[in-house]
């Protein structure tokens, strides 16, 4: 009869018994193999209570789960605390945007910092991944938002003239911050209007044909030059970017002098309507004001270039949901 070997630890013995691993005695032979050969059963292991396989799995899972609990202490201060559970919860996107704007205003106004550099970078990265537009705002846009927010709280940071001038500057730059979407009513002028901004994307497209022509001319001309003949075409385009830009701007200004495209919502139906100001070669277009019709509802509109407004002259067949609800 072979001697019985007590395992070093009950946990290891239970695991070996569950997996069917042999327990080797002092003589180097397998007790499990010899016992199985004589009786056909798995030998009992001393020091470990006999438990079903399911119980062993549950115990191992509980031990693993207990040992792998991770408490994240790197949560930034822009997370809020739930008043009921006391746990940290992530702030909503509007709350993060408000905190980001407050931190930027404190920086521009040389006030004490609200967030550390690491917290600000983490907040900016989260807003970027969530598709927020506040991370790309300029300094004037932050000033405008800060002035508007302070005015709502009963505190004026600038005069009315400065605020109107700043708003008009941002609107001419095509900033969406200074533009109110949808129809509005003016009590003084007794009109219904909506605000318009320059359509920078379509204005940029106007310069593309001349830029393509300039790029082709540069590639063909640089190939004839001995020093640039063996240069990579991509590198050659990079070297000729200033000349291509100058050629594109000059040629476009000759064909379409000072082009301006304004876009805004129709005050009657809410459809985006675009108006071109300028001229093409010798054909004059709209200069100061433009009277057009909405392609969707047929409303008569007047687009004012100086005030950047789209005034409703005559109602269309289809009205916007906002106007229908207000009436």
Domain-located, residue 81: no
Same domain, 165 and 189: no
pLDDT for 69 equals 41
Residues lower than pLDDT 70 in the chain: 1-90, 109, 176, 226, 316, 318-327
Same domain, 114 and 166: yes
**150, 232 contact by CB (below 8 A):** no
Same domain, 240 and 159: no
pLDDT for 41 equals 47
**321, 270 contact by CB (below 8 A):** yes
Same domain, 100 and 200: no
> Which residues are CB-contacts of 281 (< 8 A; sequence separation ≥ 6)?
255
Same domain, 156 and 134: yes
The SS3 of residue 246 is helix
Which domain covers residue 45, as residue numbers? 10-66
Domain-located, residue 76: no
Domain-located, residue 85: no
Same domain, 215 and 166: no
> Can you list the positions of beta strands (E) in 140-285?
184-186, 191-198, 260-265, 272-277, 279-280, 283-284
How many domains does the chain contain in total? Answer: 3
Same domain, 223 and 143: no
Residues 42, 48, 50, 54, Cα dihedral to 10°:
-100
Q: Residues 284, 289, 295, 298: is their CA dihedral positive or negative?
A: negative
Long-range contacts of 188-193 (CB under 8 A, 24+ apart): 191/311, 191/312, 192/267, 192/311, 192/312, 192/323, 193/267, 193/309, 193/310, 193/311, 193/312
pLDDT for 86 equals 61
Same domain, 265 and 197: yes
Residue 304's DSSP bridge partners are 289, 309
Domain-located, residue 83: no
Domain-located, residue 150: yes
Same domain, 118 and 240: no
* 66, 83, 106 - which closes a domain: 66
Same domain, 223 and 290: yes
Domain-located, residue 122: yes
Strand 184-186 and strand 289-293: the pairing is unpaired
Enter the DSSP assignment of 22: P
**319, 265 contact by CB (below 8 A):** no
Same domain, 168 and 188: no
Same domain, 157 and 216: no
Enter the DSSP assignment of 299: -
């Amino acid at each position: 009869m072979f001697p019985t070997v007590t395992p070093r630890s009950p946990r290891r013995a239970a695991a070996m018994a569950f997996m069917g691993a042999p327990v080797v005695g002092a003589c180097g032979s397998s007790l499990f193999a010899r016992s199985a050969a004589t009786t056909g059963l798995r030998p009992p292991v001393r020091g470990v209570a006999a438990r079903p396989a399911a119980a062993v799995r549950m115990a191992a899972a509980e031990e693993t789960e207990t040992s792998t609990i991770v408490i994240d202490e790197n949560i930034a201060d822009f997370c809020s605390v739930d008043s009921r559970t006391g746990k940290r919860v992530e702030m909503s996107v509007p709350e993060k945007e408000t905190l980001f704007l407050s931190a930027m205003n404190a920086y521009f106004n040389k006030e004490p910092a609200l967030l550390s550099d690491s917290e600000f970078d983490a907040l900016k990265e989260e807003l970027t991944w969530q598709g927020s537009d506040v991370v790309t705002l300029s300094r004037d846009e932050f000033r405008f938002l800060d002035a508007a927010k302070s005015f709502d709280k009963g505190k004026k940071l600038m005069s009315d003239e400065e605020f109107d001038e700043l708003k008009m500057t941002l609107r001419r730059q095509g900033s969406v911050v200074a533009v109110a979407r949808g129809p509005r009513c003016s009590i003084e002028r007794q009109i219904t209007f909506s605000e318009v901004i320059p359509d920078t994307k379509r204005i940029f497209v106007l310069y593309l044909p001349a830029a393509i022509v300039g790029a082709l001319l540069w590639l063909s001309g640089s190939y004839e030059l001995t020093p640039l003949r063996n240069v990579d075409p991509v590198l050659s385009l990079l070297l000729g970017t200033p000349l291509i830009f100058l050629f594109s701007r000059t040629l476009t200004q000759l064909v379409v002098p000072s082009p301006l495209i304004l876009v805004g919502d129709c005050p009657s139906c809410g459809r985006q309507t675009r108006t071109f100001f300028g001229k093409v070669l010798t054909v004059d277009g709209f200069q100061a004001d433009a009277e057009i019709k909405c392609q969707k509802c047929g409303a008569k509109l007047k687009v004012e270039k100086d005030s950047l407004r789209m005034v409703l002259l005559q109602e269309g067949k289809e009205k916007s949901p906002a106007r229908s609800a207000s009436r």
